Structure 1
């Protein structure tokens, strides 16, 4: 493949969401409508919005776990219509099988992806990703012997171990204490930097979105929610939790996100604003 062809492949959207909407049977209004966005290969995208705006339903549609009422989701040029191992999902609950050890939980996923692999291949793949999340000493423990943060690390290791083309995260750190949450955020940043992983993540935490995301999608309140703004994070990609608040771009960006959630999200809800493409703002110029 020529260099020009490779550049063209990298430039096209890896994930394309077109006019997505969801209305449940018997409901008077849609949960969300006219949802459009793109994600490029290797991009980390966070979506923020108040409860009830349909964030998890959108993620489930990307995962193929739920069908939207209207619109389409395309990944790598193919329409998403069912679950697939090219998409790894991590939920807020760890969803580990309690009767299996860490090793066995991850091995189950690896064998599902590569049923023809030998025991040695499975073992090496499992151990690689267990080490990557810093759980080498706990590899033969069962979930009941692990802390909440350790269980979430196992869930992340399991998702990465199947080497998905895209990782979908539904508030995976929401139930964790601040210290554990920060530690796992650092692990996730490190792993994504190593693997160039494409990520779509739901969060309610503005600071988490600023730390992790290349792009932040802001949803208006439901019903009839929509993506009102797409904010490009212009802070350097090498950002760290410790240094984030020292960056002069941090507070203008944070204030813009908080202002949207506190005031503008409700002003754009219930069909008060006409359906239109979301505004795209480069970082602190968003105001």
Structure 2
């Protein structure tokens, strides 16, 4: 028998997308929104990157998704519920590792795990910590403090901590921006392997076009706000690019894949010609 009862708002949002952003806007100056009318969805298990020039509002959007900031307008729903503040259902990794320097790697992650599941016995917490430390290849450093680790190792700990609480969504704010190219490439490959193994939903900010092409299923390209002859125009999502390259791609083999250069050139052309206020085609 057909059910003629109206679908609940929460059920409709779950059907429309695991994460749903509706009409998001942020203003610091009256009548000059940094961005406006930002709407997009993430499906469960999808990896989405957002790229744009400095000042376009990428980090503000991520902070709103994390519940760390409030939008001037619009709403965010995750798994059918409105995002109204911070939650351990969303793991965040920033460019700075944000580890507690007086605690070992083990205790940094155990603190997060115990906060997520306060009723767990110590042995269960320890097993969870060791599982995710092994996943990022740092078992040998588990009892070291952050001062004894390299920058890349600290970021691995930050990633392990975020995954260890098993969030519904992972938010990454340029987590590899301060790393050297070799370390960055290694951790990118490791992150992609972990995401594939766990089916994690990820929203990531990056300035690195190749990083976005390597990691993302979809890439959101942002424009900056600008003054025009008709008045101020807020920034926003200028274009959404679907990454059709094989999911088995690796950093080392990326430039050998058919379609890579066309995709890269398209994104670079957008950033040069359409994203920045006052930019003109060459």
Is the shorter-chain TM-score for this pair beyond 0.5, marking a shared fold?
Answer: yes
Task: Count matched residues.
Answer: 261
Unaligned segments of structure 2, at least 5 residues: 1-11, 227-233
Tell me how far apart the structure 2 counterparts of residues 152 and 86 of structure 1 sit (CA, whole Å).
20
Matched, 1:65 2:68: yes
Deviation at 1:266, TM superposition (A): 2.6
Aligned partners of 2:14, 2:25: CA distance in 1, in Å? 28
Contact map agreement 2:53 2:276 (CA 8 A) in 1: no
Please give the alpha-carbon distance, in whole angstroms, between the structure 1 residues aligned to 2:68 and 2:239. Answer: 26
SS at structure 1 position matched to 2:119: coil
* Structure 1 residue 27, shift from structure 2 partner: 4.2
1:103-252 equivalences in 2 (<5 Å): 103-222=106-225, 224-252=234-262
Deviates more, 1:79-88 or 1:9-18: 9-18
Unaligned runs of at least 5 residues, structure 1 = 1-7, 270-287
Whether 1:45 aligns to 2:48 is yes
SS at match of 2:276: helix
Counterpart contact for 2:132–2:164, Cα < 8 Å: yes
Determine the structure 2 residue equivalent to 1:258. 268
Alpha-carbon deviations, 1:203-255, whole Å to 9, x = none? Answer: 00000000000000000013521001000000011111121111111000000
Give the Cα separation in 2 of the matches to 1:237 and 1:206: 17
Cα offsets for 1:45-103 (capped at 9, x unmatched): 00000000000000000000000000000000000010000000000000000000000
CA contact (8 A) 1:135 1:150 kept: yes
Other structure's SS at 1:23 match: strand
SS at match of 1:158: helix
**Residue 25 (structure 2) pairs with residue 21 (structure 1):** yes
Which portions of structure 1, spanning 4 or more consecutive aligned residues, are displaced by more than 3 angstroms? 8-12
SS at match of 2:241: strand
8 A Cα contact 1:220 1:268, kept in partner:
no
Distance in 1 (CA, whole Å) between partners of 2:41 and 2:74 is 14
Structure 2 counterpart SS, 1:238:
coil
Give the counterpart of 2:102 among 99, 103, 114: 99
User: Does 2:36 correspond to 1:33?
Assistant: yes
